[in-house]
Amino acid sequence: MSAPAIGDPIPNVKLLDADGAAIDLVAMKGAPLVVYFYPKADTPGCTTEAQDFTRLAPEFAHLDAQVLAVSRDAPAKLCKFRDKYGLTVRLASDEEGAVCEAFGTWVEKQNYGRTYMGIERSTFLFGRDGKLAKEWRKVRVKGHADAVLEAAKAL
């Protein structure tokens, strides 16, 4: 399965949120949807990104936009992460990696000469029609949530 391209529909995938509730991405069609992928809960960059999206949550809500943060962490770890930092962004678990595969975010990475597989920090913005409107790859955290909000306002 290849990553969605601009104009493609939301991939037909399902995952669990931090509380173990099922999430069907296709069923979220009808409102703007932000799906962002981050490597690991409770690490510095991922914490900052989640805090930034939480800070902007009222503005996303004003646009009727839903924000979903996806990692391969187990729901129990996501609960601890959410509660530790008071996050309001909805955290989702993709333990099996099917959603990362569907979005093309499970990639080969390198760090200090070591090659391994991991999540590429990426964000996807879908319009009310359920089609991909904008994507960001290899995201730098600083200012990113604000840029996504501006793109959502432009939908």
Q: Does some domain include residue 2?
A: no
Per the structure, the complete domain to which residue 48 belongs is given by 14-153
Q: Does some domain include residue 95?
A: yes
The CA distances from residue 6 to 3, 35, 116, 125, in Å, are 10, 14, 28, 10
Asked if the model's pLDDT at residue 106 lies above 60, the reply is yes
- Number of domains observed in the structure of the chain: 1
Q: Does some domain include residue 8?
A: no
Please report the pLDDT score of residue 1 as a whole number.
54
Instruction: Match 């499970």 to its residue by tokens.
Output: 106
Q: Does some domain include residue 36?
A: yes
Q: CA 29, CA 38: separation in Å to the nearest integer?
A: 22
pLDDT band, very low/low/confident/very high, at 2 (cuts 50, 70, 90):
confident
Asked if the model's pLDDT at residue 27 lies above 80, the reply is yes
Residues with a known catalytic role: 46
Q: Does some domain include residue 4?
A: no
Q: Which helix (H) or strand (E) holds 82?
A: helix 75-85
**94: closest CA among 64, 69, 111?**
69
Q: Does some domain include residue 137?
A: yes
Q: CA 118, CA 122: separation in Å to the nearest integer?
A: 12
Q: Does some domain include residue 9?
A: no
Q: What is the pLDDT of residues 60-81, one digit of tens each?
A: 999 999 999 999 999 999 999 9
Encoded tokens for 127 = 């319009």
Q: What is the CATH number of the domain that holds 74?
A: 3.40.30.10
Please report the pLDDT score of residue 80 as a whole number.
97
